[in-house]
Chains A and B, each alone.
Chain A
Amino acid sequence: MVDAIIDLEHLVKKFGKQTVLKDVNLTVMPQQIVGLIGPSGAGKSTVIKTALGMEVADGGSATVFGQVMPKRQLLARIGYMAQTDALYESLTGRENLKFFAQMKGIKKAELTESIAHVSEVVDLQDDLDKRVSGYSGGMMRRLSLSIALLGNPELLVLDEPTVGIDPALRRQIWQELNAIRDEGRSILITTHVMDEAELTDKVALLLGGEVIAFDEPAALKSQYQVDSIENVFLKAEGEFK
Chain B
Amino acid sequence: MRTVAIMKRVLTEMLRDKRSLALMFLAPILVLWLMSVIFTANSTTSVNVGTVGVTASVSTNLDKVKHVNVHHYTSQAKAKKAMKADKVDAIIHKTGNDYSLTYANTDSSKTAAVKMAFRNALTQTSISQMKSQLGMTQKTIAKLQQTLPAPVRKQVQSQMPVQKKLATPQITNHYVYGDSSTGFFDKMLPILMGFFVFFFVFLISGMALLKERTSGTLSRLLATPVKRYEIVIGYMASYGILAIFQTILIVMATIWLLGVEVVGNVFNIIVINLILALVALAFGILLSTFANSEFQMVQFIPVVIIPQIFFSGIIPMDSMASWIKDISYIIPIKYSGDAVTGIMMQGKNLSSFGLDIGVLLIFLVVLTVLNVKGLKRYRKV
Contact = CB atoms under 8 A, between A and B. Distances in A.
Interface stretch (B145-153, B196-204, B212-220): B212-220
A90 B217 CA distance: 13
Interface string A51-93: 0111110000000000000111111101010111111111100
Interface string B103-131: 00000000000000000000000000000
B86 interface: no
Contact of A99 (B9, B215, B381): B9
A53 B378 CA distance: 10
11 contacts: A53-B380, A54-B223, A72-B379, A75-B225, A80-B220, A82-B220, A91-B13, A95-B12, A102-B1, A103-B225, A103-B226
Contacts of B222: 54
A52 B378 CA distance: 11
Given A78-B223, A86-B215, A86-B219, A91 B12 contact: yes
A88 B9 contact: yes
B2 interface: yes
A104 B215 contact: no
Nearest to B378: A54
Nearest to A85: B216
Interface of B: 1-2, 5-6, 9, 12-13, 16-17, 215-217, 219-227, 378-381
A109 to B, nearest CB: 14
Contacts of B219: 54, 82, 86
Contact of B215 (A52, A56, A84, A105): A84
B174 to A, nearest CB: 55
A174 interface: no
A90 B227 contact: no
A87 B222 CA distance: 13
A49 to B, nearest CB: 8
Contacts of B217: 86-88
Given A70-B380, A91-B13, A100-B224, 4 more contacts: A72-B379, A84-B216, A91-B12, A100-B221
B5 A71 contact: no
A78 B219 CA distance: 14
Contacts of B12: 90-91, 95
Given A71-B381, A72-B381, A91-B9, A86 B216 contact: yes
Interface of A: 52-56, 70-76, 78, 80, 82-91, 95, 99-100, 102-105, 147
A84 B210 CA distance: 15
Contact of B223 (A56, A80, A83, A84): A80
Nearest to A82: B216
A199 B1 CA distance: 40
A186 B226 CA distance: 23
Contacts of B13: 88, 90-91
Contacts of B379: 53-54, 70, 72
Contacts of B226: 103
A62 B217 CA distance: 24
Contacts of B224: 75-76, 100, 103-105
A83 B220 CA distance: 10
A102 B225 contact: no
Contacts of A88: 9, 13, 217
A91 B217 CA distance: 13
Instruction: Give 9 closest A-B pairs by Cβ, nearest first.
Output: A86-B216, A84-B216, A103-B224, A80-B223, A102-B5, A70-B381, A86-B220, A76-B225, A70-B380
B225 A100 contact: no
A72 B226 CA distance: 8
A164 B74 CA distance: 89
Contact of A52 (B5, B17, B223): B223
A82 B214 CA distance: 13
A60 to B, nearest CB: 15
A72 B225 contact: yes
A210 to B, nearest CB: 23
A211 B238 CA distance: 46
Most B CB within 10 A of own CB, among A70, A86, A95, A105: A86
Nearest to A77: B225
A177 to B, nearest CB: 19
A45 to B, nearest CB: 10
Contacts of A95: 9, 12
Nearest to A48: B223
A56 B220 contact: no
A61 to B, nearest CB: 14
A84 B220 CA distance: 10
Nearest to B13: A90
Nearest to B9: A99
Contact of A100 (B16, B220, B381): B220
Contacts of A70: 379-381
A73 B225 contact: yes
Contacts of A72: 225, 227, 379, 381
Contacts of B16: 90-91
Contact of A102 (B2, B215, B216): B2
Nearest to A86: B216
A154 B217 CA distance: 22
A55 B376 CA distance: 10
Contacts of A56: 380
Nearest to B219: A82
Nearest to B226: A103
Contacts of A73: 225
A100 B219 CA distance: 12
B230 to A, nearest CB: 9
B381 A53 contact: yes
B380 A54 contact: yes
